[in-house]
Every structure is written in structure tokens, then in C-alpha cells.
């Protein structure tokens, strides 16, 4: 497996602490690191995961068992573990689980598709059956939002700082749509792929979105709709704006699947599809 190496900044983001704290932990030997010839600290993902597990890093409940190189993969157990930690509001445990699974070779896009989204779907089912209160559902959603923000380093190429040189991507949920966790996940992945991401997220009015596309000369626009299928006009405005900037529009979410969409808007069903799409969008990197 390719060795995943993280910078001090990436570890700090992942653990939700400042860089100074990470350096202090590293210098005290609490978290393994090595130095580059230039003297910079570098961290192997497996050592960061081991640290998270050893310290039960601020987690209210047990972290996934099996150790960083254990056999646990995707599937029922991973989804249940993620669901339970979300319901405890335990973002550090979510980050620990995602880091552990990344280490076993799964991409963050795959983990969003196969673990986080199904766990949230189950939470939605339980809410719909009145087995969970609105407050409990909110706690879970917020923990996932927090974990997605911290998981950015898990999407980035190992050991390399991300250069935002592919152009601007805009990620939003359509007007009337409060569901923006999918949009946050898309933003995380696109940032890691070198896009400068503007993320107005939930309830973005169509006209404002079109203005933003034009002003930022967006090369990629990713829109999500979960409950509102009446989006043809909204998506059409984004398509028209993107045509002027030479950008492309991709859309996803349950309601987009039911919507009548302009043919220039490409419907994507997963974050893995977004990753392949993003390879073709935006400015190409010069070969080094």
C-alpha cells in the first residue's frame, strides 16, 4: 500500500487542534513522526491513527477496534459504528474511523459513499419512524459536518501540499434546500483535488449562484438537491452562467434524480463519480 504521509498542518486539521499542539505531542514522543532533510516533521497516517486509538482521542465512546491495520473493512459494521458515533455527537471517533479506513486503502470518496451516507440514511429512517427526536438527529448531523471538515487531509495526496491551481469550483445546495452535508463532502474532495472551492452551501438562490459563477469564472459547479425536484430553472441558470465561463455543471442528490434537468448538467450518483469527473474538469496541471 502506498505510504500515507501527513504534514503537521494536516494532522492538526484532522485532530481539530493547533499545529503547536501537534508539534508538542510529537516532541514529547506521544505521536510518532520523522523529519524531512529540511527538518520538517512528517507523520504516517498509521501513527496518527494509533495515537487516536491509544489516547481514545477525546472520544466519548469506544473507537473502532482492530487497530489501524486490523481487518475491519466497509460494510455493515462500519456503517453501524459510524451511525452510533454520529448519534453520540462524537466527531473525533468519526475522524478516527475514517482515518483507520483510509489506512486500509479506501478513498475518502468511497468512505463518504459507503459509510457516511448510508449511516445518515439510517438516521433519517429512524427519525421518520419517530425513533429519534429532531434534537438527536441534529446532534448526529452536526457531528458528521464537523468530521467532514476535519477529514480534508484524508482526501489529499500523501505528503504533498495541495496547490489550488485547477481553477474555481462552486459547491452549493439549491434554493429551499437545507440539506448540505453532501455539498460539504463534495467541497472537501474538490479542494483536495486542487480546486479553489467557494462553498455557499445550503439554500443558495439561483440568481446569486449564477452571479458567483460569472464573477469567480468557475470551471466546475457542483449542485445538490435532496428534497426539491423543481430545480430545472435553477440548474438552467447555472448552466447558462457556466457556459460563459467555459465551466461544467454536475448535480447530485435524491431530488436531482427525479428532476428534469438541462442536458448540459451531468447527473452524478456518487462521490466516486465526482472524483473521476473532477479529473477532466478545470485547468490541467503542467507535468513536472
Instruction: Enumerate binding residues for ligand B12 (CB under 6 A).
Output: 112-113, 117, 120-121, 123-125, 127-128, 137-138, 141, 176-182, 185-186, 222, 224, 226-227, 250, 252-254, 268, 270-271, 274
Q: How far is the CB of 129 from ligand B12 (least distance, A)?
A: 8
User: Nearer to ligand B12 by C-beta: 15 or 172?
Assistant: 172
Beta carbon nearer to ligand B12, 5 or 274: 274
Nearest distance in Å: CB 202, ligand B12: 6
* Least Cβ distance, residue 185 to ligand B12 (angstroms): 6
Secondary structure of 223-282 in the HEC alphabet? EECCCCCCCHHHHHHHHHHHHHHCCEEEEECHHHHHCCCCCCEEECCCHHHHHHHHHHCC
Report which residue's Cβ sits closest to ligand B12: 124
CB of 165 vs ligand B12, minimal distance in Å: 21
- Least distance in angstroms from the C-beta of 177 to ligand B12: 5
Residue 206 and residue 223 in contact, taking contact as beta carbons nearer than 8 Å: no
Q: What share of the chain is helix, strand, coil (3-state, %, to 5)?
A: 50, 15, 35
Residue 124 CA from chain centroid, whole number:
19
3-state class of 107 per DSSP?
A: coil
In the complex with ligand B12, the residue whose CB is nearer, 14 or 117, is 117
Minimum CB distance to ligand B12 smaller for 15 or for 199:
199
Q: For helices 117-128 and 76-87, what crossing angle results, to 10°?
A: 60
Separation between Cα atoms, residue 181 and residue 173, nearest integer Å? 9
Nearer to ligand B12, 195 or 271 (CB): 271
CB 188 within 8 A of CB 155: yes
Residue 133 beta carbon to ligand B12: minimum distance, rounded to whole angstroms: 11
Question: With respect to ligand B12, which residue has the nearer C-beta, 51 or 112?
Answer: 112
DSSP state of 4: P
Amino acid at each position: 500500500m502506498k505510504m500515507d504521509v501527513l504534514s503537521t498542518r494536516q494532522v492538526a486539521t484532522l485532530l481539530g487542534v493547533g499545529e503547536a499542539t501537534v508539534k508538542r505531542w510529537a516532541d514529547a514522543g506521544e505521536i510518532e513522526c520523522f523529519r524531512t532533510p529540511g527538518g520538517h516533521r512528517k507523520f504516517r497516517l498509521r501513527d496518527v491513527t494509533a495515537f487516536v486509538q491509544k489516547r481514545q482521542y477525546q472520544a466519548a465512546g469506544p473507537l473502532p477496534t482492530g487497530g489501524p491495520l486490523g481487518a475491519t473493512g466497509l460494510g455493515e459494521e462500519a456503517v453501524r459504528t459510524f451511525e452510533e458515533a454520529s448519534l453520540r455527537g462524537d466527531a473525533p471517533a468519526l475522524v478516527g474511523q475514517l482515518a483507520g479506513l483510509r489506512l486500509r486503502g479506501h478513498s475518502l470518496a468511497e468512505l463518504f459513499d459507503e459509510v457516511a451516507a448510508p449511516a445518515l440514511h439510517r438516521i433519517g429512517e429512524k427519525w421518520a419512524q419517530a425513533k429519534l427526536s429532531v434534537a438527536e438527529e441534529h446532534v448526529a448531523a452536526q457531528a458528521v459536518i464537523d468530521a467532514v471538515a476535519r477529514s480534508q487531509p484524508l482526501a489529499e495526496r500523501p505528503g504533498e501540499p495541495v496547490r489550488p491551481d485547477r481553477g474555481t469550483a462552486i459547491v452549493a445546495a439549491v434554493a429551499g434546500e437545507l440539506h448540505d452535508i453532501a455539498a460539504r463532502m463534495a467541497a472537501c474532495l474538490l479542494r483536495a483535488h486542487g480546486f479553489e472551492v467557494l462553498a455557499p452551501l445550503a439554500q443558495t438562490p439561483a440568481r446569486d449562484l449564477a452571479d458567483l459563477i460569472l464573477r469567480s469564472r468557475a470551471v466546475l459547479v457542483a449542485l445538490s438537491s435532496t428534497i426539491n425536484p423543481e430545480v430545472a430553472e435553477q440548474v438552467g441558470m447555472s448552466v447558462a452562467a457556466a457556459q460563459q465561463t467555459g465551466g461544467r455543471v454536475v448535480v447530485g442528490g435524491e431530488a436531482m434524480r427525479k428532476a428534469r434537468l438541462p442536458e448540459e448538467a451531468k447527473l452524478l450518483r456518487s462521490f466516486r463519480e465526482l472524483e473521476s469527473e473532477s479529473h477532466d474538469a478545470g485547468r490541467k496541471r503542467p507535468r513536472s
